[in-house]
Amino acid sequence: MSSEYPQVVSQPAVSAGPQTSEQDPDREAAGHQGTSNDDARREAIVLVRGEAIRDQKSKPGGNSPPEDKDKSPKKAVSEAKIKLQSSLPSLGDDADVGVQKEQLVTRDGKADLRFTGTLLASAAPPSAPQGQWQEYRIYETNGGKHVFSKVTRSVIAEKQDTYDAEVFDPSPSSVPSKLLRGARDLTHSRPMSWTDAAVAFFGYDPLAKALYRKLSGQFEEHIT
C-alpha cells in the first residue's frame, strides 16, 4: 500500500514555522517594508495630530486664548451721562446763570440745601476723555450767603456721582466767621470774604480758575 503514495513520502515536508532569509528573501523584504511603512504612518499621524493641537492653541480665533483671559469685561455706561459728556463744557443749567429762582443743591452725607438765590457762575472741563469730570458752581442766596458746589460725574453706570457743597455766611455771629476773624485779627489781616471761602473750597486748579474768570476778576490778586 505504501507504493500508492510515493510522492508524499519522498518529498520533504514544508515547515509551518517562520522562514529565514534563505527560505524566502522576497517575503522577508516585503515584511520589513510593510513594518517600516506602518511605523512611518504612525509617526506621521502623531506629527499631524501634534501639529493640529499646536495650531489650535496658537490660532487667535480659539475659544479661550490666553490673552483674552487677562482682559477685564467692559463696564456698562449710562446713556444720560454720555449725553452730558458730549455737551461739555456746556452744562444743563447754563441758562440759569444770573436768574433768581428756587435752588436745590445736593450734597453727600449732609442735608441738601434749598434756598432762593442766584447761580453766579458754573464751570466744567472742555472734554472728559477718561469718562470722568467735575462741575463747579457758586450761588448767592437772597440772604447774602454764598453756596459752593462741586459735582464729580462718571459715565460708568454703576459708579454714582458725588456731591460736595458748603455754605459761607459772612455774619460775624456765624462760627466760621468767628474763627476766621479771630485768626485774621491775630495777623492784622483783612476779614475773610466769600471769595476767600471759595478759594478754600475749590482751590486754584485749572477748572477753578476758569470759574473765577467768569466773576469779573474778583479772584485776581492785585499788586502795585
pLDDT per position as a tens digit, 201-212: 999 999 999 999
Residue 65: what pLDDT?
53
**Residue partners of 209: CB distance under 8 A and separation at least 6:** none
Q: What's the pTM value of the predicted model, to 2 decimals?
A: 0.63
Q: What pLDDT is attached to residue 14?
A: 45
> Given this model, what pLDDT does residue 218 score?
82
Integer Cα distance of 198 and 7 in angstroms: 131
Strands 113-123 and 100-105: antiparallel
Residue 21 pLDDT: 45
- For residue 147, what pLDDT is reported? 98
**Which has more pLDDT, 185 or 101?**
101
H-assigned helices in the chain = 6-10, 25-58, 66-69, 79-86, 175-186, 194-202, 206-213
| Residue 85 pLDDT greater than 50, yes or no | yes
The average confidence (pLDDT) of the chain is: 77
- The pLDDT of residue 134 is 98
Residues forming beta bridges with residue 165, ordered by sequence position: 149
Q: How far is CA 9 from CA 1, 4, 17, 23, 94, in A?
A: 12, 10, 20, 22, 126
> Which pLDDT does position 74 carry in this prediction?
82
Q: What is the mean pLDDT of residues 183-203?
A: 79
Tell me if 168 sits within 8 A of 176, measured CB to CB. Answer: yes
Residue 44 pLDDT exceeds 50: no
SS3 26: helix
Would you state the cell numbers that stand for residue 116, as one nine-digit string? Answer: 432762593
pLDDT over threshold 90, residue 114: yes
Residue 221 confidence (pLDDT): 83
Percent of the chain with pLDDT over 90: 52
User: Would you say 28 and 19 are in contact if contact means Cβ atoms under 8 Å apart?
Assistant: yes
Read off the C-alpha cell for 91: 452744562
